[in-house]
Amino acid sequence: MNIYDVAEKAGVSIATVSRVLNSSEHISEKTRRRVLEVMESSGYTPNAFARGLGLNSMRMIGVMCTDITDAYYSKAVGQIENLFRKKNYDTVLCCTGNDFENKKKYLLYLINKKVDSVILIGSAFNEKDNSYIKEAAKQIPIIIINGYVNAPNVYCFVCDEKKAMEDNVKLLLRAGYDKILYLYNTATYSGLQKLEGYKRGYTKENTDKRLIVKTDKDISAVKSAVKRLYNSGTEFNAVLTSEDAIAAAAIKAAEELKISVPIIGFNNSNITEYTTPTITSVDNMIDRLCDMAVNCLESLENNKSVPSKTVISGRIVERESFKSPL
């Protein structure tokens, strides 16, 4: 039982429950009694977080990502910090790396810091064992941007990356490119969604498994993977990638191989403008996802209903590396 359960059973906002806990005068006796009855019947024990909600005494948000040097994560962190600052929240950033134990440790650290909520950026927090996220959600709202965990008090905001990647494949096929190399680097929730979208665009039966290549995203690994495939005699006439950094490395590989093929990235990060040619990329609407995540917490504070999963569409942003025929 947590403050959100008490608020729901009593039919009030969490801010109202907090005012009851702090013996505020700005609340009716009838409402006070109803909230106290729910707490007594459920055996609810309030903590500092519950007492601080709605009283402007905490105003702190935890943010977790795996790698702040990644262009996608840094853009999301900057957007979240800016949005919360405008709402008079402080943010505490934890960069966990990909170590599972670190993720658990930092989430526990943020809860002990009595943050109002924790925002997890990306799908690297979707391990099969996500019980630590579900456990944390029993105490505070957990908000996930472009990842998914199915649990009470967890709110996920995702781009439909499967559909976006499927649309990329179909776009290239319509343009006459029928041997599409797919380069990806993770098997996270996001990575698997994109991979499934690639296969759906082709239809699974027609997918040449040799054209699906997993690689690290650093430039030397991508270049080696592309060159190895090319030198093996496996034909490809277009390249799709799971993120822009891989697309940038693929452009470099194509240049060194002296071949010209369309290349499409994913995330629409700043990297897309730094290459020659500039990179056509899928915009997975990170700015909008961040807006929705911030507004989610505000809605919860006002006892408004928020769906556990919200899905939005991406869009392709055409630049020089591929332009669809008119």
Same structural domain for residues 45 and 65?
Answer: no
Interior angle at CA 176, CA 238 and CA 234, nearest 5: 40
- For residue 12, what are the domain limits? 3-52
Of 52, 69, 84, at which residue does a domain stop? 52
CB 77 within 8 A of CB 68: yes
Of 247, 263, 284, the last residue of a domain is: 284
Q: What is the pLDDT of residue 207?
A: 78
User: Are residues 8 and 105 located together in one domain of the fold?
Assistant: no
Same domain, 186 and 229: yes
Q: What is the pLDDT of residues 128-179, one digit of tens each?
A: 789 999 999 999 999 999 999 999 999 999 999 999 999 999 999 999 999 9
Instruction: Write down the pTM of the prediction.
Output: 0.81
Q: CA-to-CA distance for 21 and 18, rounded, in angstroms?
A: 5
What is the per-residue pLDDT for 295?
96
Tens of pLDDT, residues 37-74: 998 888 876 665 555 555 544 689 999 999 999 889 99
pLDDT at residue 107 above 80?
Answer: yes
For residue 310, give the nearest of 325, 326, 292, 297 by alpha carbon.
292
The confidence score (pLDDT) of residue 39 equals: 87
Instruction: Tell me the mean pLDDT in the region 105-127.
Output: 90
Alpha carbon of residue 278 to chain centroid: 25
**CA-CA distance, 246 to 265, in Å (whole number)?**
7
Which CATH number goes with the domain that contains 247?
Answer: 3.40.50.2300
State pLDDT tens for residues 271-312: 999 999 999 999 999 999 999 999 999 898 887 889 999 999
> What is the count of structural domains for the chain?
3
Do 20 and 6 meet the contact criterion of CB atoms below 8 Å apart? no
In single-letter form, the type of residue at position 290 comes to C
Q: Is the same domain home to 152 and 67? A: yes
- What single string gives the DSSP state of each residue in 84-123? HHHTT-EEEEEE-TT-HHHHHHHHHHHHHTT-SEEEEESG
Same domain (yes/no): 122, 228 = no
